[in-house]
Amino acid sequence: MEDLISNSLPGMRDLLPEEIGRWQFVEERAHRIFRCYGFEEIRTSIIEPTELFARGIGDDTDIVGKEMYTFMDRSKRSVTLRPEATASVVRAYLQNSMYRGGGLTKLYYMGPMFRHEKKQKGRWRQFYQVGAEALGSDHPAVDAEMIEMALWFIMSLGVEARLLLNSVGCRKCRPRYIERLQAELAKCVADLCEDCGRRASTNSLRVFDCKVDSCQPYIDGLPVIADHLCAECLEHFENVKSYLDEAGVGYTIVPRLVRGLDYYVRTAFEIVSGELGSQNAIAGGGRYDGLSEALGGPPVQAIGFALGLDRLVMILPEDQFAEQQRKPDLFLAYLGEAAMDRATEIARDLRHQGFSCYLDFAAGRLKNQFRLANRIGARYVLILGEDELARGVASMKCLADSRQWEIALPEIAGYLRSHGPENTA
Ligand code: HAM
């Protein structure tokens, strides 16, 4: 026999049935809240031309430079498993001329992303995001609404979180700032870590992301973008803050906050939770007014965010989803072949009415069927014997309190419906 292939790739994992209830719960909540805010779902392909991410996210970023799953497909074309979805959403927006109708286009998505990062708690190579993008306006109220929705979604799940906010300037004011930053970096580059040394000239803003202790005193002394914003960026930032104030959304201004993707201008934010370890960012986002043009499209002002589902699910309070976990309403146990056929018909009828029914064709003796019913947590067991079936009845047993009684077959659905609203679909 060949060796059994029993391991997934490093950083990849299966989401097993025992944990999937949490995922479904969070995903359903996202659908509901994002729709309340007027967003519509979009599903883009998870594999794209490599050029899309190189141009969209930026050649000098860690994502494009070190982390992408890129390979030649059978047509000898360089393709990449998406490391994020913003570039894909903008590509789809342009490809389908969604800007033609004018006004704001509000899209959300969820699904797997791929980054070949160093493995760490809270970090996977295949991970899942839910995200939202609003395209077609640079009004600061759009920024504030986007942030409010992201926070409301997280808070509605009972998860503690904090908003970190900054403005990273625009194509007008940033180049002048970068020049100043690079001049300052040149003075201390010899004392900085290897990563900072490299970033000092290629992607200087990212120096602010460095976590190496010995670099911190130097980084603390560097000029920050917030002090170099042009009048328009400053006004935009002030307006975003006052819309957030009006909405009662608290925030901490973090002048060092820069994001790992090149497309950001003006508003940049992260939502962090103290319940996570070193990878404490649940969500990140910002404005990306130049991305459409970088991809060859017309100017489109836009803002969005993405939230790491793996991390959110990890810190989801237990009581939030316990009720959501749907166990089978009914386990159908049978004695003999004829009863099994009848059980199949009854289960089909109940399932079509929205009840969750479990029927095991290979369980064998009644004792085994009961053992299974207990294991899967069924609420009731219906015992179908041939004699009873001939009389149009069966025995119903409640597994919680062991009560057992005879029930007429046409009354089963009514009984399940009236004993717990959660039993109906
Ligand atoms: P990002 O900050 O790269 O932004 O990712 C957003 C979130 O995805 C992070 O805050 C984190 O929760 C999660 N995440 C990222 N990498 C991993 C990983 N390796 N394992 C687990 N979770 C991870 C973006 O992706 C932008 N596209 C967000 C955006 C949308 N900006 C504008 N629109």
Span 205-222, pLDDT tens digits: 889 988 899 999 999 999
Question: Which pLDDT value is given to residue 419?
Answer: 87
pTM listed for this prediction: 0.90
Residue 17: partners with Cβ closer than 8 Å, 6 or more residues away? none
CA-closest residue to ligand 1 atom 1: 284
Q: Nearest CA to 163 among 58, 40, 234, 247?
A: 247
Write out pLDDT tens, residues 226-274.
Answer: 999 999 999 999 999 999 999 999 999 999 999 888 899 999 999 999 8
- The preferred substitution site among 120, 135, 311 for testing ligand 1, maximizing ligand atoms within 8 Å of CB, is 311
Task: Give percent of the chain above pLDDT 70.
Answer: 97
Asked whether the predicted pLDDT for residue 424 surpasses 50, the reply is no
What atom in ligand 1 is closest to the CA of residue 129?
Answer: 8
In angstroms, what CA-CA distances link 93 with 15, 292, 295, 296?
A: 31, 9, 11, 12
- Mark 52-68 as b/e (b = at least 16 C-beta within 10 Å): bbbbbbbeebbbbeebb
Measure 5 CA to ligand 1 centroid, in angstroms. Answer: 31
Taking the centre of ligand 1 as the mean of its atom positions, its distance from the CA of residue 169, in whole angstroms, is: 21
Distances (CA, A) of 23 to 30, 41, 233, 324: 11, 17, 38, 11
Ligand 1 in reach of 407 Cβ (< 6 A)? no
Question: What pLDDT sits at residue 159?
Answer: 95
Q: Which has more confidence, 139 or 422? A: 139
Q: Is the CB of 115 under 6 A from ligand 1?
A: yes
pLDDT at 102: 85
Cα separation, 280 vs 288, whole angstroms: 23
pLDDT at position 1 over 60: no
Which tens digit of pLDDT belongs to each residue from 95-116? 999 998 889 999 999 999 999 9
Quick one: which of 85, 88, 93, 139 has its CA closest to 113?
A: 85
Q: Whose CA is nearest to atom 15 of ligand 1?
A: 308
Q: Which atom of ligand 1 is nearest to the CA of 261?
A: 3
Say how far residue 306 (Cα) sits from the centre of its chain: 7
- How far does the centroid of ligand 1 lie from the alpha carbon of residue 58, in Å? 15
pLDDT recorded at residue 425? 40
Query: What pLDDT does residue 422 have?
Result: 52
Q: Is the CA virtual torsion 227, 229, 231, 235 positive or negative?
A: negative
Amino acid at 273: S
What does the pLDDT read at residue 331?
Answer: 97
pLDDT for position 260: 85
Q: Tokens standing for 290? A: 């130049």
Q: Sheet harboring 78-81: ordered strands across?
A: 47-49, 78-81, 69-72
pLDDT score of 114:
98
* Pocket of ligand 1 contains residue 262 by CB under 6 Å: no
Residue whose CA lies nearest to ligand 1 atom number 4: 284
- The CB of 286 under 6 Å from ligand 1? The reply is yes
Torsion sign, CA atoms 292, 232, 162, 40: negative
Q: Which of 23, 127, 143, 278 to mutate to test the pocket of ligand 1 (most atoms within 8 A of CB)?
A: 127
Residues 127 and 309: beta-carbon distance below 8 Å: yes
- pLDDT above 90: percentage of residues in the chain: 81
Q: What is the pLDDT of residues 193-202, one digit of tens each?
A: 998 998 888 8
Say how far apart CA 323 and CA 147 lie, in whole Å.
29
**What distance in Å separates the CA atoms of residue 262 and residue 171, rounded to the nearest whole number?**
11
d(CA 425, CA 420): 11
Q: Average of pLDDT values for 150-163?
A: 96
pLDDT over 50 (residue 86):
yes
Between CA 148 and CA 150, with CA 149 as vertex, the angle to 5 degrees is: 95
pLDDT above 50 (res 423): no
Residue 70, beta-bridge partner list: 80
Residue 109 pairs in a beta bridge with 131
HEC string for the chain: CCCCCCCCCCCCCCCCHHHHHHHHHHHHHHHHHHHHCCCEECCCCCEEEHHHHHHHHCCCCHHHHHHCEEEECCCCCEEEECCCCHHHHHHHHHHCCCCCCCCCEEEEEEEEEECCCCCECCECCEEEEEEEEEECCCCHHHHHHHHHHHHHHHHHCCCCCEEEEEECCCCCCHHHHHHHHHHHHHHHHHHCCHHHHHHHHHCHHHHHHCCCHHHHHHHHCCCCHHHHCCHHHHHHHHHHHHHHHHCCCCCEECCCCCCCCCCCEEEEEEEECCCCCCCCEEEEEEECCCHHHHCCCCCCCEEEEEEEHHHHHHCCCHHHHHCCCCCCCEEEEECCHHHHHHHHHHHHHHHHCCCCEECCCCCCCHHHHHHHHHHHCCCEEEEECHHHHHCCEEEEEECCCCCEEEEEHHHHHHHHHHCCHHHCC
From atom 8 of ligand 1, which residue's Cα is the shortest distance away? 308
pLDDT of residue 348: 96
Does the structure show a pLDDT above 50 at 421?
no
Residue nearest to atom 23 of ligand 1 (CA): 308
In this prediction, residues 359-372 reach a mean pLDDT of 90
Q: For 337-356, what is the mean pLDDT?
A: 94
The per-residue pLDDT for 420 is: 63
- B/e letters for 314-346, b = 16+ CB within 10 Å, e = fewer, are bbbeeebbeeeeeebbbbbbbbeeebbebbeeb
Predicted pLDDT at 293? 96
Ligand 1 atom with the smallest distance to the CA of 259 is 2
pLDDT digits (tens, 9 = 90+) for 281-330: 999 999 999 999 999 999 999 999 999 999 999 999 988 776 566 788 99
Q: What's the pLDDT tens digit per position in 114-123? A: 999 998 889 9
Cα 288 to Cα 138: distance, rounded to the nearest angstrom: 10
Give me ligand 1 centre to Cα 342, in Å.
52
How far apart (Å, rounded) are the C-alpha atoms in residues 414 and 425? 13
The single residue listed with the structure tokens 């070190």 is: 66
